Structure 1
Amino acid sequence: MINTYVVDRRLNGKNKSAVNRKRFLERYKKHIKRAVNDAVNNRSITDMEHGESISIPGQDIREPVFGHGKGGKRNYVNPGNKEFVSGDMIEKPKGGEGQGGGNQASNSGEGMDEFTFNITQDEFLEFLFEDLELPNLVRKELKSMDDFVYRHAGFTNVGVPAKINVVRTLKNSHARRIALSGKARRRLKEVTALIDEEEQKDRSLRNEAYLEDLIIEKEKLHNKITRMPFIDDFDLRYNLSMKEPTPSNAAVMFCLMDVSGSMTQQTKDMAKRFFLLLYMFLRRNYEKIEVVFIRHHTSAKEVDEEEFFYSRETGGTIVSSALKKMQEIVDERYPASAWNIYAAQASDGDNWNDDSPICQKILERDLLPKVQYFSYIEITPRAHQALWQAYDEVRSRHPDAFAMEQIIDQADIFPVFRQLFQRKSS
């Protein structure tokens, strides 16, 4: 019998097991996702991406147990028995007399508190953005000389041992030995045949001197062939790899936020919370992603991350200014042939009535032909206005490239975010 032992030597922290923790997180995934979703709605913007404390009800962490069913015959061993002898019948336990079996508190029962544990920042973000992706992401033509792939480009006589091509080297070795020893092998075959022929003759007719010369020649030929190296430096061949530029799936996300006077502080906070979720999602899931921040009121301007989230500038409302600014930046820096272009716009829906048709025209004529996906969220509890109606017409004609949702209060932010960026089943 052979005993096999598997030893896990992966490095973990003191008193921790990465394998067991992963199994535990998978088992209580439902509770963790619920806690993560609640945390997103209750946290401040600056505390959005920290870890979280998770509580699991006691009844959900009980382990399954096996028990005997009713009926059948069983043999019991009762140590210290003073009441029964062999052959006695034992009554079944009467039901309803146990203590502590209910959920109510009692002076003699025992209970179990909720089990609480902490998840790390990475685990929090992993559960937060699970099953989300940028829609319609495709590989584009060469964006820059930064993206390369190494492809096989034949063989070379020089290289490092790690790149040696064994098959090609052995083929060259075999061909060299055949070419260099072909004449000797043919002569060896002839000499062997002559020796056999001479040895088959009667001793009186055999030419001993001639036979001895043949044997000596055979030995020389054999030594000549065997002294030939199995692999020579000339035989070595190495794989040759060439660096070729490849298409890139680099993407750019435009974040367009309305900061006009009609946007209350609460509305702005919800817009910032949505964009912060989007920003964390992009940074965590996509290595090559650029984010362009645009704030607008009557005019629009490109800003950095700090100014986008914390500037207090305000004014009137002309939504088309943000779309024109985005179009200008796309034309200057992000050609559609090389970039996956995305946009997310947040507003309260308030806009000059004459400007909403202009927004619709810019979207359909200039932006949607270039972008992969444009999402619009309207943060308002009021009835929709002209901007929503104009955008609704765009959505009806371009359902795959344009999406729009409404956010009424803070609890709607994360569900709407997931709805806009939910991974599509293939």
Structure 2
Amino acid sequence: MSIIDRRLNPGGKSLSNRQRFLRRAKAHVQRAVRDGSGERSISDLEKSGEIIIPAEGVREPRFRRSATGGLRDYVLPGNKRFVEGDALEREVGGSGSSPSASSGGEEEDEVRFILSREEFLDLFLEDLELPNLAKRRLATSEVQGFRRAGYSATGSPVNLALLRTMRNALSRRIAMRRPKSCDLVSLQQEIQHLEHQGGSDSRLADLREELVHLQQRMRRIPYVDPVDLRYRRMEPAPRPIAQAVMFCLMDVSGSMSEHMKDLAKRFYMLLYIFLTRRYQRVDIVFIRHAHEAEEVDEYTFFHSPESGGTVVSSALRKMQRIVAERYSPQDWNIYAAQASDGDNSPDDNRACAALLTESILPMCQYFAYLEVGAEENRTTTGFIKHRTTLWQTYEPLRDRGAIAMRKVTHRREIYPVFRELFRRGGVEEAASP
């Protein structure tokens, strides 16, 4: 027996059923979102889309009779072809076969499901966070919700404070001397006893008159009066928000091919969507560099072409100056994400290491380095992995857990690497070699 709620929602609304389905099939939907994200373009991440989940994830709960115990009667149709014990061959094709079925093995049924933009992004970013976000000195605060602010005599029934209401009712009944039910019961029992025993008529008359008086008094003084009602009062409350700034440092020198720049931009687009969707008080500073570094706006960072030599320390110095001018480490959580092909001027590596060790890393909550490479430069099994000059410069800092480093050579690797760097609770793993 299957129980399926097929009641129509007024106006075609199915939000509650949809949310119930997403909760029940959440693991399958999350897996489908993660698998499908690698094939979608960055611009499509903020759009609704279709995902495919296994049919197993949408099966309805069922009640079944127990296979053991109890008495059962079976009615089986007769036939002229088979008798008990005959083996039946499975027919090929038929109404139960799938159009895509093949003789090469069993295939799992799939269900296509459309996710809205909000649902896709919520699942996409659910378990990501900025690592080590601390409550520094708060320069701003925003109204985030409501807080309890005592009680009021009017309000919505949803906010009725039951305990406070009953306490007020009890106080009023005591002050007005409302008769108790037990007093009425005992008085009625005494009257019945005197009637059976043949007591004095004057005594019975007095008791009956007192009983009528108490009953009238009980009716005049209600158990709960509207004056007793109290409602929980809520008022807007400013809640402090931790301030954070993310520095995006991207190498746009001549050694960066279009493929490498595309990988870096995809990573930063993911980071931009993540920060703007999950945090309300996060500044994003875009810094591009070749032989010189400059702070640019969002459009220039993602679209403006540039080329030239490579001096990575120029970007680190630019970040250092901006922090000194606008973002005090005592007030802000400072993060940095750097993307480069790993090539740098030989005489600049020592300056990069000194800047990171003495200035950048001590004031950063988290520093992520993404090295992008050409797809044809993937390491072949049996060959020694190539290490760029910048990777060799950063690696000693990585061994001390001060910096997280990853390499990508194909766009399908961007999303898994991004999840590794910003997965909730995965800071130690991301920083480990």
Q: Measured at CA, do residues 148 and 46 of structure 1 come closer, stay the same or move farther in structure 2, by a change above 3 Å?
A: closer
**d(CA) in 2 for partners of 1:384, 1:286:** 35
Q: Measured at CA, do residues 143 and 52 of structure 1 come closer, stay the same or move farther in structure 2, by a change above 3 Å?
A: same
Q: Which amino acid aligns with 1:311?
A: S
The aligned counterpart of 2:311 is 318
**d(CA) in 2 for partners of 1:20, 1:148:** 27
> Residues 249-260 of structure 1: matches in 2 within 5 Å?
251-260=244-253
Aligned partner (choices 380, 388, 391) of residue 388 of structure 1: 391
Aligned partner (choices 164, 171, 176) of residue 172 of structure 2: 176
Identity of aligned residues (%): 38
Q: Measured at CA, do residues 340 and 6 of structure 1 come closer, stay the same or move farther in structure 2, by a change above 3 Å?
A: same
The aligned counterpart of 2:133 is 138
SS at structure 2 position matched to 1:246:
strand
Aligned partner (choices 335, 344, 357) of residue 337 of structure 2: 344
**d(CA) in 2 for partners of 1:277, 1:5:** 39
Q: Is the 8 A contact 2:133 2:333 kept in 1?
A: yes
RMSD over aligned CA atoms reads 5.3
SS at structure 2 position matched to 1:367:
helix
Q: Which amino acid aligns with 1:166?
A: L
**d(CA) in 2 for partners of 1:362, 1:329:** 14
* Residue 307 of structure 1: how far off its partner (Å): 0.7
Q: Which amino acid aligns with 2:128?
A: E
Higher Cα Rg: structure 1 or 2? 1
More moved, 226-235 vs 301-310: 226-235
* Residue 425 of structure 1: how far off its partner (Å): 6.6
Q: Which amino acid aligns with 1:394?
A: L
* Residue 134 of structure 1: how far off its partner (Å): 2.9
* Residue 375 of structure 1: how far off its partner (Å): 0.8
Q: Measured at CA, do residues 363 and 179 of structure 1 come closer, stay the same or move farther in structure 2, by a change above 3 Å?
A: same
> Residues 33-72 of structure 1: matches in 2 within 5 Å?
36-37=37-38, 39-40=39-40
* Residue 179 of structure 1: how far off its partner (Å): 1.8
**d(CA) in 1 for partners of 2:89, 2:3:** 48
Residue 9 of structure 1 pairs with residue 13 of structure 2: no
Q: Which amino acid aligns with 2:160?
A: I
Residue 78 of structure 1 pairs with residue 74 of structure 2: no
The aligned counterpart of 1:104 is none
* Residue 414 of structure 1: how far off its partner (Å): 4.1
Residue 368 of structure 1 pairs with residue 369 of structure 2: no
Q: With structure 1 as the length reference, what TM-score do the two structures score?
A: 0.65
SS at structure 1 position matched to 2:140:
coil
**d(CA) in 2 for partners of 1:214, 1:116:** 78
Q: Which runs of 5+ in 1 are unaligned?
A: 58-74, 101-109
Alignment: residue pair count: 372
Q: Is the 8 A contact 1:36 1:127 kept in 2?
A: no
* Residue 146 of structure 1: how far off its partner (Å): 0.9
> Residues 85-164 of structure 1: matches in 2 within 5 Å?
112=101, 122=117, 129=124, 133-138=128-133, 140-141=135-136, 142=138, 144-157=140-153, 159=155, 161-164=157-160
* Residue 258 of structure 1: how far off its partner (Å): 1.0
Q: Measured at CA, do residues 76 and 27 of structure 1 come closer, stay the same or move farther in structure 2, by a change above 3 Å?
A: farther
* Residue 51 of structure 1: how far off its partner (Å): 7.0
**d(CA) in 2 for partners of 1:156, 1:56:** 50
Q: Is the 8 A contact 1:181 1:225 kept in 2?
A: no
Q: Is the 8 A contact 1:52 1:124 kept in 2?
A: no
**d(CA) in 2 for partners of 1:56, 1:4:** 22
Aligned partner (choices 163, 176, 187) of residue 167 of structure 1: 163
Q: Deviations over 1:356-379 (max 9, x none)?
A: 233223323333333332111222
* Residue 143 of structure 1: how far off its partner (Å): 5.1
More moved, 308-317 vs 221-230: 221-230
**d(CA) in 2 for partners of 1:12, 1:76:** 44
**d(CA) in 2 for partners of 1:20, 1:161:** 26
